[in-house]
Amino acid sequence: MKFFIDTADLDQIKKAQDLGVLDGVTTNPSIMAKVGITGKDQIHAHYKAICDIVDGDVSAEVLSVDYDGIIKEGEELAKIDNQITVKVPMIYDGVKAIKYLSSKGIKTNCTLVFSPGQALLAAKAGATYVSPFLGRLDDISTEGLNLIEDIRTIYDNYGYTTEILAASIRSPMHIINCAKIGADVITSPLASIINLLKHPLTDSGLAQFIEDAKKL
Ligand code: E4P
């Protein structure tokens, strides 16, 4: 399973890259706004800076919601770096745009996916990634993991190559459960990735080894 980090914070991306387990980065307009990035040139420069840190795919979201606008923005974003994946919302014009961009060899990530039917459409349009939002479904008292499971079944039934990118991850258990289901990718805050390595028995075992090592 690939690990993507869901942030535009360059320090966090560097830290995740430094750990040696980072396969890519995802962003969205809210994430970009959080780091104070405004204006097209600054936004493009920031995406380039992210691409220079990480080796894998970097999702950059279009701001347009009409077909022509999505295509124009998508083509511009794709020119920033060959690591750029154009993130497109699951709307009518978005599905059409994914079909077009995919036919031009531009990687796409279909975002804001909350149902198996939406995921099926994304795959048929040729999306490179589909992003089901696990945590946001949990937030409204729905089992988000069921959606990941349903998409896995549908894609396996027909051999769709669109990668399931489990998004809106909120905890290490989300990551573990996505791995059990067979999601291809998770995108997560750095904290949930770091929390995977923690166990009290590791801490107490190490403390004992350090103590006993003094006797050697
Ligand atoms: C995914 O592509 C989104 O950027 C992200 O995972 C959404 O997460 P949130 O629900 O925590 O905002």
What is the per-residue pLDDT for 161?
98
pLDDT band at 216 (very low <50, low <70, confident <90, very high): very high
Would you place residue 143 in the very low, low, confident or very high pLDDT band (cuts 50, 70, 90)?
very high
Q: 40 an active-site residue?
A: no
> Residue 25 — very low, low, confident or very high, per pLDDT cuts 50/70/90?
very high
The tokens 């295509």 sit on which residue? 71
Residue 28 has a pLDDT of 97
Residue 20 · residue 103 · CB < 8 Å: no
The pLDDT of residue 94 is 98
State residue 85's pLDDT score: 98
Task: Tell me what pLDDT residue 178 has.
Answer: 98
Q: Count the Cβ atoms, other than its own, within 10 Å of residue 206.
A: 10
Both tokens assigned to 97: 């745009």
Domains of the chain: 2-213 (3.20.20.70)
Distance, in Å, from the CA atom of 40 to the CA atom of 29, rounded to the nearest integer, reads 12
Torsion of CA 117, 118, 124, 128, to 10 degrees: -140
pLDDT of residue 58: 98
Whole-number Å distance between alpha carbons of 149 and 214: 50
Nearest ligand 1 atom, CA 167: 6
Coil, strand or helix at 81: coil
Burial bucket for residue 129 (CB in 10 Å: 0-12, 13-18, 19+): buried
Q: What is the mean pLDDT of residues 79-97?
A: 98
**167 pLDDT band (50/70/90 cuts)?**
very high
What percent of the chain has pLDDT above 70? 100
Question: Residues near ligand 1 with C-beta < 6 Å?
Answer: 6, 26, 28, 31, 111, 131, 133, 135-136, 167-168, 187
Q: Is the interface score ipTM higher than 0.90? A: yes
Q: Which of 7, 133, 174, 186 to mutate to test the pocket of ligand 1 (most atoms within 8 A of CB)?
A: 133
Cα(69) to centroid of ligand 1, in Å? 23
